[in-house]
Amino acid sequence: SSALDRERQSGGRAGAAVMASLITKSTTRVAQGVLKCIEHVASSLGGIPSTFAVYEPDVCQHQKLPVVYWLSGLTCTDENFSQKAGAFQAACDNKVVLVMPDTSPRGEGVPDEDPKVYDFGVGAGFYVDATTEKYKKHFNMYSYITRELPDIIESNFNVAPVRSVSGHSMGGHGALTIALKNPDRYTSVSAFAPICSPMSVPWGTKALSLYLGDDKEAWKQYDACELIKSYKGRDLHIFCDQGTGDNFLSGEVNQLQPLAFMQAAQDAKVPVTFRMQAGYDHSYYFMSTFIGEHIAHHARLLHARMNA
């Protein structure tokens, strides 16, 4: 398709600038492929070293595969998904590459709150580009995920410039907002237990105020409920799973707000598949149960786009 050709051309131009010095920290054989842990200097994150993981099925040696980006939740690194989701056989069966970035900048010189909290700062970048003085140099995970990292992947690995995005909790928020803001760059989006309405829950209001300041109009661009209200783009094949036994859903505070998202999508006439899965919690036990379905969902759409 002409869209794919344009992507290839723009990717090619960007590629010259991003044949970055990538340091392979580890290589692990798993299923019928290889998981690599890669370190590089992330310019969008203040020029600090950042780590991502990439899983390449063996078939990558013979053909370019599409990419599914996985965005993890609060406190996670690239390792949580790799170690717990059990996704690699599904990636091989469906012929997709998986890319797992970190959830924030981290390391020497990266600012944070004192005392350290689990739901903000390091390990909790919320997939935004910060504008407040303290955080704007390093906390630009939105730009990192949507531009810098795809440029690196598409310049250094045998992949096609077609991508989908998925994630969990804070990462589900990241996946939904990134796809809704960039429908030209993502074929499909899925999420597990996403934070659907950060503007209305404690996790979100803390993060958005510290990263973006007090202007709540600026928060709307990072809120899936707000974005879907005015969404006019192509069908992103939005696919979400939420466990009914999730303590962040059914506890004292509903941090996730799936019903608000479903209502907003219905009002905006945007198609969404949102499944409430009986009894499952917020953990990787839940994700490992359904990750194969999510990967198959993306692969079907990605391969159809590549073959169009």
The tens digit of pLDDT for each residue in 71-83 reads 999 999 999 999 9
Dist. CA 224–CA 178, nearest whole Å = 9
**Which is higher by pLDDT, 92 or 16?**
92
Query: Given this model, what pLDDT does residue 205 score?
Result: 98
* pLDDT for 94: 98
Distances (CA, A) of 51 to 8, 68, 81, 254: 25, 17, 14, 32
Question: For residues 271 and 269, what is the distance between their CA atoms, to the nearest angstrom?
Answer: 6
Assessment of whether the complete model's pTM goes beyond 0.85:
yes
Dist. CA 142–CA 95, nearest whole Å: 26
Token match 């499909």: residue? 188
Q: State the pLDDT at residue 16.
A: 39
Mean pLDDT over 10-21 rounds to: 51
Confidence at residue 18, expressed as pLDDT on a 0 to 100 scale = 53
Check whether 251 has a pLDDT greater than 90.
Answer: no
Catalytic annotation, pick one of 82, 246, 294, 298: 246
Question: How far is C-alpha 81 from the chain's CA centre?
Answer: 12
Q: How far apart are CA 265 and CA 272, in angstroms?
A: 7
Size (the chain), residues: 308
Beta-bridged to residue 41, according to DSSP, are 49
Residue 284: pLDDT over 60: yes
Residues 176/197, Cβ–Cβ less than 8 Å: no
User: Strands of 189-192's sheet, edge to edge?
Assistant: 23-30, 33-42, 48-57, 97-101, 65-71, 159-168, 189-192, 238-243, 272-277
At residue 17, the pLDDT reads 45
Higher-confidence residue: 295 or 20? 295
Q: Which two tokens stand for residue 15?
A: 């590629």
Amino acid at residue number 237: H
The alpha carbon of 189 is separated from its chain's Cα centroid by a whole number of angstroms, namely: 9
Q: Please report the pLDDT score of residue 129 as a whole number.
A: 98
pLDDT of residue 20: 62
Our answer to whether residue 246 is catalytic in this structure is yes
Catalytic residue among 237, 282, 298, 303: 282
Q: Which of 72, 169, 188, 190 is catalytic?
A: 169
What does the pLDDT average to over 161-178? Answer: 98
pLDDT tens digit sequence for 43-55: 999 999 999 999 9
- Give the Cα separation of 241 and 181 in Å (integer): 21
Query: Can you read off the two tokens belonging to residue 110?
Result: 């990266």
Q: Would you call 197 helix, strand, or coil by DSSP?
A: coil
> How many other C-beta atoms lie within 10 A of the C-beta of residue 16?
8
pLDDT band at 175 (very low <50, low <70, confident <90, very high): very high
Residue from 41, 306, 297 nearest 175 by CA: 297
Yes or no: say if 48 and 41 are a contact pair by the CB < 8 Å rule.
yes
Query: What would the mean pLDDT of 230-237 be, rounded to a whole number?
Result: 97
Average pLDDT over residues 53-82: 98
Convert the pLDDT of each residue in 115-157 to its tens digit. Answer: 999 999 999 999 999 999 999 999 999 999 999 999 999 999 9
Q: Is the pLDDT of residue 2 over 90?
A: no
Q: Is 169 a catalytic residue?
A: yes
What totals of helices (H) and strands (E) does the chain contain, helices first? 12, 9
What pLDDT, on the 0 to 100 scale, is given for residue 196? Answer: 98
Q: Which two tokens stand for residue 306?
A: 């590549």
Of 301, 275, 288, which Cα lies nearest the Cα of 94?
301
Confidence band for 260, pLDDT divided at 50, 70 and 90: very high
| Angstrom distance (rounded) from CA 97 to CA 69 | 8
